[in-house]
Amino acid sequence: MNRRISLPKYILTPQKKGNTVYTKMSYPVHCGRYSVLETDHHVFHFNLNNEIIRAKAKGDVWGHPHEWLKRTAGNDWVFYSTGGYTGVFEATGEYYLPNFRYPTNSVLGGHPFRLQEIHSLADNWHQILLELLGKVEFTLSAETQCNCTHKKLHDFLTKATANTPHNLEKKARLLFDIIGGRISVLPPDARHVDYNLIPLTIAQGCLYKCRFCKVKNAALFAEKDQSEIRSQISSLKNHYGADLKNYNSLFLGEHDALLASAGLITFSLEEAYREFNFSNSYPEGSNVFLFGSVTSLLEAPEQLFQDLENLPPLIYINIGLESADQETLDKIGKPISAHQVQQAFDRIQDINNRYNSIEITANFLMDDTLPKNHYPKIIELIRDEQTFTKPKGTIYFSPLTFGKPSRARLFEFNRLKILSKFPTYLYIIQRL
């Protein structure tokens, strides 16, 4: 007698058309084209390379139906929660709080990956798909006539399960090899596209080597040449393959791309925009994200910003100011003066006022061990010196402490946010 295997109910939607714009909503809105497999117990999303990109469980075992697991191009699983504390949108500018398996500086949330249903799905999604594939194969072998829907599911699962956890990890390591190493931190403005971007390294290292920093490497600053950048772009096109169409955003790395020569910056943007075909990407528009320093901002020629304004993408440049208090700058080992910070802040306002497609944002530190004048000096910049409320030029506050959610830090942030005349949010450090 043949063994009977019950095939679970399922709905397979190949290459579903998601949103064409990244939208901030209080329920999940996914951008791009992706395939959806929904079973009795799970929902899985796959990109155009048939690689898993999102997953969640269904029913009472899953905390909230709006919460998801997402797999990044760097092969990290990120859990998007509705928030460990209240006020996630007010604190981050997003309705969902990203939670990571690696240490970060978040003062929100808990430890969702300690929950059985979350870490189990992140670790066992492939086995779940393999078991479903086995049931489909058994069902097909027992059928006297071809069931086209079962055959389509079989073909899809065969492709999807070929992208094993091991192969996905190998592909992530290949990405890091192409760009010269893992990106340890992405600009906070990348939240506008849910960190879905293509990294292109035009310069490695940073200028200052600040004592407080936990996420930047020790490499001396060195920019790439045009041939190296062309080679990266060619390799990245092959690496992303069919899923390249789901990307409309670029990260110019590494830690201070603004310090690269103006000609190299515009060359890199123009080459990448053309070769990645951002004008025809599924998500509408295009964006570029990069870091800058006080020095690179003050030294950047005005012509650079004029040239960037004339390019198609929106440009987001994030500057690490950290503090406007000299004692604090000295304590954290940032080798610049409070006067330079003031100059940089003034130039940020000038550029943001004059250019429509460029937004420069700024980071400041948060910690209860910083000198007493740290916060008063920041308040002078973001409130006292401003006549009007500003619609752009977001201010991000980055907690110094990693891995220790704190209501005290959240209270301090909320006070600063109320005082600020700029959009003001927490900077949650996320890597690629």
Q: Which residues pair with 17 in a beta bridge?
A: 33
What was the pLDDT predicted at 5?
A: 60
Please report which confidence band the pLDDT of residue 218 belongs to, taking 50, 70 and 90 as the band edges: confident
What are the structural domains of the chain? 10-164 (no CATH), 180-426 (3.80.30)
Q: What is the pLDDT of residues 156-203, one digit of tens each?
A: 999 999 999 999 999 999 999 999 999 999 999 999 999 999 999 999
What was the pLDDT predicted at 183?
A: 94
Instruction: Determine the Cα–Cα distance for residues 379 and 382; give it in Å rounded to an integer.
Output: 5
Please report which confidence band the pLDDT of residue 420 belongs to, taking 50, 70 and 90 as the band edges: very high
pLDDT over 70 (residue 4):
no
What was the pLDDT predicted at 1?
A: 38
Q: What is the pLDDT of residues 137-156, one digit of tens each?
A: 888 887 766 677 888 999 99
CB atoms within 10 A of CB 383: 14
* Reported pTM: 0.95
In the predicted model, what is the mean pLDDT of residues 281-296? 97
What was the pLDDT predicted at 138?
A: 84
Q: What is the pLDDT of residues 57-87, one digit of tens each?
A: 999 889 899 999 999 999 999 999 987 546 7
| DSSP SS3 for 358 | strand
What was the pLDDT predicted at 184?
A: 93
Instruction: Determine the Cα–Cα distance for residues 24 and 39; give it in Å rounded to an integer.
Output: 27
Contact 8, 129 (CB under 8 A): no
Instruction: Determine the Cα–Cα distance for residues 3 and 137; give it in Å rounded to an integer.
Output: 13
Please report which confidence band the pLDDT of residue 2 belongs to, taking 50, 70 and 90 as the band edges: very low
Per-residue tokens: 419: 């005082």
Instruction: Determine the Cα–Cα distance for residues 396 and 417; give it in Å rounded to an integer.
Output: 10
Please tell me the least confidently modeled range out of 91-100, 124-133, 394-403: 394-403
pLDDT over 80 (residue 263):
yes
CB atoms within 10 A of CB 139: 17
Q: Which residues contact 343 (CB under 8 A, 6 or more apart)?
A: 294, 298
Q: What is the pLDDT of residues 313-347, one digit of tens each?
A: 999 999 999 999 999 999 999 999 999 999 999 99
What was the pLDDT predicted at 214?
A: 66
In which element (H, E) is residue 170 found? helix 165-179
Mean confidence (pLDDT) of the chain: 93
Q: Which amino acid is at 10?
A: Y
> In this prediction, what percent of the chain has a pLDDT beyond 90?
81
What was the pLDDT predicted at 312?
A: 97
The residue ranking higher by pLDDT, 110 or 275, is 275
